[in-house]
Structure 1
Amino acid sequence: MKSDLPDRTFAFAERIVRLCRHLESEGVVSGTLMKQVLRAGTAIGSHIEEAQASESRKDFVHKYSLALKEARESHYWLRLLIAAEVVSAARLDPLKQEANELIAILTSICKKSRD
């Protein structure tokens, strides 16, 4: 069965880019946070794409582990944007939920692949 994870992480990255386009004009603090969430949120999918061409099981697990770290970091930045009232919770809750789901999926894949 083909995984939808590459498409799902690409869609997440696209949503992050759209969020960051909004944050660009919001000021220095928003701009600094925007760079962080943009880097982390778009890196998840790039690591998944790299894993599709992994050279070994160890390489695959490494790439997925990096994607997991970026997903956790993305979740952190999204929480901070909400807590600092830079962006409303209503706007970011769907992205935060998707980050949570990606974390769960990637954690499961990493654990199963290490066994």
Structure 2
Amino acid sequence: MGKNVIKEKSFEFGVKIVRLSKALNSQSELVISRQLLRSGTAVGALIREAEFGESKADFAHKMNISLKQANETLYWLDLLVAAELLNEDNVCVEKSLSKEIIPMLVSTLKTIRK
């Protein structure tokens, strides 16, 4: 499989923006932490909301959004480390949990689609 150039470039761009933001504004960590909080807490909230989905399609939709939020959370964690706002040791537990949750959500979505 070849490189996903846009994925690599957009990540690199994000790192540069965070570093620039940090240099320009001491509130950069707060802004990112809010994004991380929003996406990280949405994962569980959406799973809980899906439990009482109005239909199979509604359940699948909420689980899919949860998957997207889990992936976004990994992005913010990676960004914090790559931008040297935190070191890898500070986020290893959260990243590990995200990497456990994501395959579970993928598996659930595959089962639903059968």
* TM range, smaller chain: 0.7 to 0.9
The one-character-per-residue Cα deviations of 1:43-67 (angstroms, maximum 9, x if unpaired) are 0011011111111111110010010
Aligned residues: 89
What is the 5 A alignment of 1:34-113?
Answer: 34-113=33-112
Letter aligned with residue 80 of structure 1: L
Q: Which has the larger radius of gyration?
A: 2
The one-character-per-residue Cα deviations of 1:11-54 (angstroms, maximum 9, x if unpaired) are xxxxxxxxxxxxxxxx4110111111010000001101111111
Query: What is the DSSP-based 3-state SS (H/G/I as helix, E as strand, rest coil) of the residue aligned with 1:33?
Result: helix
Quote the RMSD (CA, aligned, Å). 0.8
Q: Which TM-score applies when normalising by structure 2?
A: 0.75
Runs of 4+ that moved beyond 4 A: none
Query: What is the DSSP-based 3-state SS (H/G/I as helix, E as strand, rest coil) of the residue aligned with 2:92?
Result: helix
**Amino-acid identity (%):** 39
Query: What is the DSSP-based 3-state SS (H/G/I as helix, E as strand, rest coil) of the residue aligned with 1:54?
Result: coil
The one-character-per-residue Cα deviations of 1:61-100 (angstroms, maximum 9, x if unpaired) are 0010010000000010000111111111111011111111
User: Using the alignment, how far apart are the partners of 2:92 and 2:81 within structure 1?
Assistant: 9
User: Using the alignment, how far apart are the partners of 1:94 and 1:79 within structure 2?
Assistant: 13
Shift of 1:114: 1.1
Query: What is the DSSP-based 3-state SS (H/G/I as helix, E as strand, rest coil) of the residue aligned with 2:85?
Result: coil
Query: For structure 1, which runs of at least 5 residues remain unmatched after alignment?
Result: 1-26
